[in-house]
């Protein structure tokens, strides 16, 4: 059946956590449509590493089975990473249930995961071809659930500083306004990748020549990382915006009025509210603010939580498409 869970933004909307029940143990996890491993903090880790965290204890689960000889090792775009061994167990997310789901048990995690005590790990929702388990690659929760879901979809409803929803198997049309605009997804990269080759600022004339012109929908990335041409075009309309090497990106006066950004999603222009592009102050006085839109020099562009806060997104694993609508 379908499953629905509330998600909660961590401070500053840095990431969004939601409850996942693994072998009867409920832990909060970071749902990541930009990767394909389900890994958890667990009782193999040292007490120092586990300090402050929830942890999955396979010994307490009557349905856990080790996958002898299986290992995983994953690294993310922000330089963080985890590695360990693998078993299977029953996973229930708000009622959507999968038996025999690969549960990757970290024996090593990078510092940013240790300090992020509210997160017990990640649940990858990109395509299974990116899964890192060896010698036999494993499937994502969504892949395993597809055949049993009422509809082959999951949806992301992420909000600024407020609870939202992750839903599996149904599209709740009360969560967005107007029709969903559907775009085909190119699954070759293993990401939810689509064409994005135009943008406009504050309702101005669109530019239609974004180099590379590809983007991925990534709930596990905090910001929106776009081509330099988009970043330059947008912040040219923001008084006092500067590229601030010290903090590692574009900043502007927190008092600035930020225009909306219109961005192409497979031929339909989606709007990212200007307010959502004011990500966070960089100083104690709240004078200088860090932009939620920043540049990436690599393709594809990465549309993270900044994009999702203005747009409800449906991920259709039945026909490999994305549905987007304002919320
Ligand atoms: C832990 C983590 C996940 C992601 C996005 N896929 N990043 C950039 N970092």
3-state secondary structure of 319: coil
Does any ligand 1 atom lie closer than 6 A to the CB of residue 182? no
Q: How far is the CA of 203 from the centre of ligand 1 (A)?
A: 31
Query: Which atom of ligand 1 sits closest to the CA of residue 113?
Result: 1
- Strands ordered across the beta sheet of 249-253: 242-244, 249-253, 288-291, 278-281
- CA–CA separation, 204 and 295 (whole Å): 21
Query: Which atom of ligand 1 sits closest to the CA of residue 35?
Result: 6
Query: Which atom of ligand 1 sits closest to the CA of residue 112?
Result: 1
- Strands ordered across the beta sheet of 199-201: 199-201, 261-265, 268-272
Q: How far is the CA of 220 from the centre of ligand 1 (A)?
A: 5
- CA–CA separation, 88 and 67 (whole Å): 7
Instruction: Tell me if 65 sits within 8 A of 132, measured CB to CB.
Output: no
Per-residue pLDDT of the chain (327 residues; tens, 9 = 90+): 899 999 999 999 999 999 999 999 999 999 999 999 999 999 999 999 999 999 999 999 999 999 999 999 999 999 999 999 999 999 999 999 999 999 999 999 999 999 999 999 999 999 999 999 999 999 999 999 999 999 999 999 999 999 999 999 999 999 999 999 999 999 999 999 999 999 999 999 999 889 989 999 999 999 999 999 999 999 999 999 999 999 999 999 999 999 999 999 999 999 999 999 999 999 999 999 999 999 999 999 999 999 999 999 999 999 999 999 999
Catalytic residue among 35, 128, 196, 321: 196
Q: What is the DSSP string of 252-269?
A: EETTPPPPPEEEEETTEE
* H or E element that contains 270: strand 268-272
Burial of 59 (0-12, 13-18, 19+ CB in 10 A): exposed
Query: Which atom of ligand 1 sits closest to the CA of residue 80?
Result: 1
State the Rg of the chain over Cα. 20
Q: How far is the CA of 242 from the centre of ligand 1 (A)?
A: 26
Two structure tokens written together for 131: 């899964």
Instruction: Tell me if 32 sits within 8 A of 18, measured CB to CB.
Output: no
Does any ligand 1 atom lie closer than 6 A to the CB of residue 77? yes
Residue 13 is a catalytic residue: no
How far is CA 69 from each of CA 38, 101, 122, rounded to the nearest angstrom?
17, 16, 22
- Is the full-model pTM beyond 0.95? yes
Two structure tokens written together for 44: 């193999």
Q: How far is the CA of 221 from the centre of ligand 1 (A)?
A: 5
Q: Whose CA is nearest to atom 2 of ligand 1?
A: 76
Residue 32 is a catalytic residue: yes
Does any ligand 1 atom lie closer than 6 A to the CB of residue 33? no
Q: Whose CA is nearest to atom 6 of ligand 1?
A: 34
The model's pLDDT over 58-99, given as tens digits with 9 standing for 90+, comes to 999 999 999 999 999 999 999 999 999 999 999 999 999 999
């Amino acid at each position: 059946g379908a499953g629905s869970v509330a998600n909660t933004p961590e401070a500053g909307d840095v990431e969004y956590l939601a409850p996942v029940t693994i072998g009867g143990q409920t832990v909060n996890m970071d749902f990541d449509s930009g990767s394909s491993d389900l890994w958890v903090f667990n009782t193999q880790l040292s007490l120092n590493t586990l300090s402050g965290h929830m942890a999955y204890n396979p010994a307490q689960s009557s349905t856990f089975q080790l996958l002898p000889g299986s290992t995983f090792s994953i690294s993310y775009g922000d330089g963080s990473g985890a590695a360990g061994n693998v078993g299977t167990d029953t996973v229930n997310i708000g009622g959507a249930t999968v038996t025999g789901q690969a549960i990757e048990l970290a024996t090593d995690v990078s510092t940013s995961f240790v300090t992020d005590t509210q997160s017990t790990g990640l649940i990858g929702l990109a395509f299974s071809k990116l899964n890192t388990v060896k010698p036999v690659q494993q499937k994502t929760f969504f892949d395993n659930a597809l055949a049993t879901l009422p509809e082959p979809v999951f949806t992301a409803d992420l909000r600024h500083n407020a609870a939202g929803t992750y839903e599996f198997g149904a599209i709740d049309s009360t969560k967005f306004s107007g029709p969903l605009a559907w775009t085909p997804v190119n699954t070759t990269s293993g990401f939810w990748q689509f064409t994005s080759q135009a943008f406009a600022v504050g309702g101005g004339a669109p530019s239609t020549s974004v180099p590379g012109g590809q983007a991925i929908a990534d709930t596990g990335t905090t910001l929106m990382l776009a081509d330099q041409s988009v970043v330059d075009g947008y912040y040219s309309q923001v008084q006092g915006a500067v590229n601030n090497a010290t903090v590692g990106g574009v900043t502007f006066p927190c008092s600035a009025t930020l225009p909306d950004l219109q961005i192409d999603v497979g031929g339909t222009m989606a709007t990212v509210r200007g307010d959502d592009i004011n990500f966070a102050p960089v100083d104690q006085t709240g004078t200088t603010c860090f932009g939620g839109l920043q540049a990436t020099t690599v393709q594809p562009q990465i549309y993270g939580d900044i994009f999702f806060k203005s747009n409800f997104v449906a991920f259709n694993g039945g026909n490999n498409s994305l549905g987007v609508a304002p919320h």
